């Protein structure tokens, strides 16, 4: 029992982000989980080219999507390819031609819809010689992200003249509010520009600035106010702008506008973005700032908290920094009404589409940190796309719902030589529902999610193939495990260790849901449970898959998740997993791993009774376990941020601090008892 409550403000404020130089990899975001604005060192998006070689800048909303025209009328049916499963043809949305390349239909379907950059708001500053300010011309920059208030405070000088920019996002509306203070405003040397791009079906940047003729910006400007209607092919959205009474808005070009102050040294600009015409009046800067301050203070004061200040391990401060910043980043980028993309609302990866297998890593931690509403925001999306998932299962000859992998807001799967063969996202909705029930063990919770649980279980039970010789149910083919190293063998892969354990656990939980509702155990589900194949072993350790090449030491070591992310099941022998854990540590090629692998390793180490190694895994020195000054988990130039790493970290430390079913009966059972890791925890929930 905690005698004295954690000083949450002190924990958060000691990790206030302070930047004193421009860095293309460390832009900072303000947002509310559904909308986010990512700014450079100026506090706005003044230097987009500088960040194009690092972490791109964006203004993104979960509703902001665009599709290119489809004059050829491409349909999903054009990208189907049959694979033989148990003697029958099963169509998969692979989209490959005879040479193994994506067909034109598959390319279009993969790229559409794509996330849209809603508008770039930046400073236009002119130096004394009449040339525009470049990033290297800024002197004495100091940018601070106040996590407790959700406020970005950016200060710098231009030829000795101070500039201060405050940037904040409304917690309930897609509203961006900015206050700029500088004598350069009164001198006419500082203005604000707003520019709108066309949609880009590419990687990293969701904006195409090269085709102004392909979209429209209809503007109604009256003094210091403006209404913009954006039309991009068949898509549209609206933007409302309000600025200080002494300011005015003028048109620069077809899609670019300038806000300039007539007199005075303070300019306020408030923008609202919406998918439909706006009716409500805009909140002003002070209202938005106050709402954000209340929201973020309430966020930090509620839910779970961890305090590492009493730890004597020199790595503790860095771990606490990662934990605090990951809470902020996942609340800003991963708490919307649909599953997020790997790069959240910062920039685009995979055309901005969500990867459903990553949803667990983005959002399961919300339940463990007692912030269940942030997880539950996205769960109705599964109900909305359920008919599509049921249609996919039926087309392939299965029951229930087969959830998509790479998906936009419409819930339609995307062609892929890898994604459509992955299966480890299928049990996820059962896990989410179980987390909800553990937090709210009421019949209302059971009724709320029963359809999702049961339809998921129906697919999970109908997918395995009966092996007459072995008298067992097997997984695959066609299949690619979470460890995608075996993608070329998708037509032959069988029985990946993690997926087998997840299949068992999910079906067992679904049966318990039936019992909680007063229903009998489903006989078909029970038959699969009793006869599901056991994971393969070689030389005393589990293999990643049952078929050759058995275990490749690259990519995710996901076989360890079978007892780590998952609780014990009859399929996994803890003694064998101990040996497997050591084997993986000896042989793995760590530069090929990904950000969520390290919290996964920590969870396995904790369940195996190895708390020292659990901490070591969280702080493992590896290229993909790097956390930048802004808190983002860096992976590569192509993927400069990776929110599954942040979310996975939060899940792992919550488990290590609050425990798990069957954990040792002591405080913080996943942390060492050597007196070095004196971790204070409150408000966290046990993991299954």
Residue 479, phi-psi category: left (phi > 0), alpha (psi -120 to 50), beta (remainder): beta
End-of-domain residue from the set 280, 299, 318: 299
| Mean pLDDT calculated for residue range 44-59 | 96
d(CA 79, CA 98): 12
d(CA 429, CA 457): 10
Is 19 part of a structural domain of the chain?
yes
3-state secondary structure of 480: strand
Is 137 part of a structural domain of the chain?
yes
Q: Percentage of residues in the chain with pLDDT exceeding 90?
A: 97
- Domain count for the chain, please give it: 2
| Mean pLDDT calculated for residue range 310-327 | 98
**What is the number of other CB atoms lying within 10 angstroms of the CB of residue 238?**
16
| Domain of 43, in residue numbers | 8-66+113-299
Q: How far apart are the first and last CA of the chain?
A: 21
- What is the pLDDT confidence band of residue 279, given thresholds at 50, 70 and 90? confident
Instruction: With a cut of 60, say whether residue 3 has pLDDT above it.
Output: no
Which DSSP string corresponds to 615-650? HHHHT---GGGEE-TTS-EE-BTTBS--HHHHHHHH
Is 577 part of a structural domain of the chain?
no
Taking only the tens place, the pLDDT of each residue in 100-126 is 899 999 999 999 999 999 999 999 999
Is 613 part of a structural domain of the chain?
yes
Taking only the tens place, the pLDDT of each residue in 164-192 is 999 999 999 999 999 999 999 999 999 99
- What is the pLDDT confidence band of residue 150, given thresholds at 50, 70 and 90? very high
Give the per-residue pLDDT at 2.
Answer: 42
Question: Given strand 161-169, what is the order of strands in its sheet?
Answer: 17-19, 139-146, 151-158, 161-169, 175-181, 266-274, 235-243, 225-232, 215-222
The reply to whether 196 and 292 lie within a common domain is: yes
Residue 59, phi-psi category: left (phi > 0), alpha (psi -120 to 50), beta (remainder): beta
Nearest to 77 by CA among 392, 382, 351: 392
Taking only the tens place, the pLDDT of each residue in 668-685 is 999 999 999 999 999 999
Q: Answer for the pair 45, 55: CB distance below 8 angstroms, yes or no.
A: no
The reply to whether 308 and 278 lie within a common domain is: no
Nearest to 433 by CA among 509, 339, 487, 338: 509
Is 89 part of a structural domain of the chain?
no
Instruction: With a cut of 80, say whether residue 4 has pLDDT above it.
Output: no
Is 660 part of a structural domain of the chain?
yes
Is 383 part of a structural domain of the chain?
no
Cβ partners under 8 Å of residue 108, min gap 6: 68, 70, 72, 74
d(CA 8, CA 430): 33
Which helix (H) or strand (E) covers residue 145, if one does? strand 139-146
Q: What's the Cα-to-Cα distance from 341 to each of 83, 114, 360, 577, 662, rounded to whole Å? A: 29, 11, 12, 32, 33
Taking only the tens place, the pLDDT of each residue in 283-299 is 999 999 999 999 999 99
- Confirm whether pTM is higher than 0.95: yes
């Amino acid at each position: 029992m905690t005698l004295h409550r954690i000083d949450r403000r002190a924990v958060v404020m000691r990790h206030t982000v302070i930047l004193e130089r421009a860095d293309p990899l460390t832009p900072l975001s303000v947002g509310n989980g559904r909308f986010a604005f990512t700014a450079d060192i100026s506090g706005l998006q003044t230097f987009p080219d500088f960040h194009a070689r690092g972490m791109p800048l964006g203004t993104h909303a979960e509703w902001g999507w665009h599709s290119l025209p489809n004059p050829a009328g491409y349909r999903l049916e054009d990208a189907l390819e049959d694979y033989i499963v148990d003697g029958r043809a099963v169509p998969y949305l692979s989209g490959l031609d005879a040479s193994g390349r994506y067909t034109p239909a598959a390319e279009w379907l993969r790229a559409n819809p794509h996330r849209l950059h809603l508008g770039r708001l930046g400073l236009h500053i002119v130096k004394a010689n009449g040339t525009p300010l470049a990033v290297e011309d800024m002197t004495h920059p100091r940018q601070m992200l106040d996590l407790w208030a959700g406020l970005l405070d950016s200060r710098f000088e231009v030829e000795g003249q101070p500039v201060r920019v405050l940037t904040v996002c409304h917690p309930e509306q897609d509203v961006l509010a900015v206050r700029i203070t500088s004598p350069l405003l009164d001198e006419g040397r500082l203005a604000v520009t707003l520019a709108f791009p066309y949609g880009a079906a590419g990687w990293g940047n969701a904006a195409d600035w090269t085709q102004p003729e392909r979209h429209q910006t209809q503007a109604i400007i009256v003094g210091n106010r403006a209404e913009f209607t954006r039309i991009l092919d068949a898509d549209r959205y609206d933007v409302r702008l309000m600025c200080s009474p002494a300011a005015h808005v003028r048109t620069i070009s077809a899609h670019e506008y300038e806000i300039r102050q007539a007199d005075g040294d303070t300019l306020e600009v408030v923008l609202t973005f919406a998918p439909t015409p706006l009716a409500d009046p805009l909140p002003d800067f002070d209202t938005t700032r106050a709402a954000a301050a209340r929201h973020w203070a309430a966020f930090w004061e509620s839910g779970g908290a961890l305090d590492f200040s009493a730890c004597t391990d020199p790595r503790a401060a860095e771990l606490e920094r990662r934990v605090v910043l990951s809470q902020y980043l996942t609340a800003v980028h991963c708490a919307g009404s649909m599953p997020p993309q790997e790069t959240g609302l910062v920039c685009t990866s995979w055309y901005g589409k969500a990867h459903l297998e990553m949803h667990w890593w983005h959002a399961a931690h919300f339940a463990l940190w007692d912030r269940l509403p942030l997880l539950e925001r996205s769960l109705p999306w599964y109900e909305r796309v359920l008919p599509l998932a049921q249609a996919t299962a039926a087309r392939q000859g299965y029951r229930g719902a087969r959830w998509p992998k790479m998906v936009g807001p419409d819930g339609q799967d995307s062609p892929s030589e890898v994604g459509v063969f992955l299966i480890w996202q299928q049990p996820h909705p059962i896990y989410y529902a179980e987390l909800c029930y553990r937090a709210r063990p009421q019949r209302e919770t059971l009724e709320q999610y029963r359809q999702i649980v049961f339809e998921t279980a129906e697919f999970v039970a109908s997918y395995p193939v009966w092996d007459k010789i072995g008298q067992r149910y097997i997984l695959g083919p066609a299949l690619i495990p979470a460890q995608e190293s075996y993608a070329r063998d998708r037509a032959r892969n069988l029985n990946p260790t993690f997926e087998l354990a997840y299949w068992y656990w999910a079906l067992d939980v679904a049966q318990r849901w039936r019992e909680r509702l007063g229903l009998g155990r489903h006989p078909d589900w029970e038959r699969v449970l009793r006869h599901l194949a056991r994971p393969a072993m070689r030389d005393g350790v589990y293999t990643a898959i049952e078929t050759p090449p058995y275990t490749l030491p690259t990519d995710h070591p996901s076989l360890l998740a079978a007892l780590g992310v998952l609780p014990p099941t009859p399929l996994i022998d803890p003694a064998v997993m101990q040996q497997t854990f050591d084997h993986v540590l000896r042989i793995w090629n760590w530069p090929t791993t990904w950000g969520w692998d390290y919290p996964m390793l920590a969870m396995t180490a904790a369940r195996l009774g190895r708390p020292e190694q659990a901490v070591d895994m969280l702080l493992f020195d590896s290229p993909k376990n790097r956390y930048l000054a802004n808190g983002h988990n860096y992976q590569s130039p192509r993927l400069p941020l990776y929110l599954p790493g942040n979310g996975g970290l939060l899940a792992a430390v919550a488990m290590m601090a609050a425990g798990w079913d069957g954990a040792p009966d002591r405080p913080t059972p996943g942390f060492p008892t050597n007196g070095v890791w004196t971790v204070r925890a409150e408000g966290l929930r046990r993991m299954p």
